[in-house]
Amino acid sequence: MAHIIKADGTEVPLPDTKLETLQAAVGGYIELIPLGNSKLMLVDEEGLMKDVAERPDNLKASTLYGRRIVGDVVICESSEMD
């Protein structure tokens, strides 16, 4: 099931994977990042260009991806995006 990893480290389930829901969850246009094992991370595609106060570092997401990730992200199975 898709869930949001918030920048503060909390995780909450996502009710659906409609485009509007995904964009609201990450705070902008989505960018898909494959994580392997059919998992995807969805991030704000312009997140790194936004103000740090608006998009703080997301340590959990950064650890999963191995690179700096900011703001809230969505984690889901690739099959949920069909």
Q: DSSP class of residue 17?
A: -
| pTM, entire model | 0.91
What is the C-alpha separation between 61 and 56, in angstroms, rounded? 12
Q: For the segment 21-79, what is each residue's pLDDT rounded down to a tens digit?
A: 999 999 999 999 999 899 999 999 888 777 766 789 999 999 999 999 999 999 999 99
Residue type, 9: G
* Domain tally, the chain: 1
Q: What is the pLDDT of residue 52?
A: 65
The tokens for 75 are 């984690």
Give me the domain span that covers residue 27.
3-81
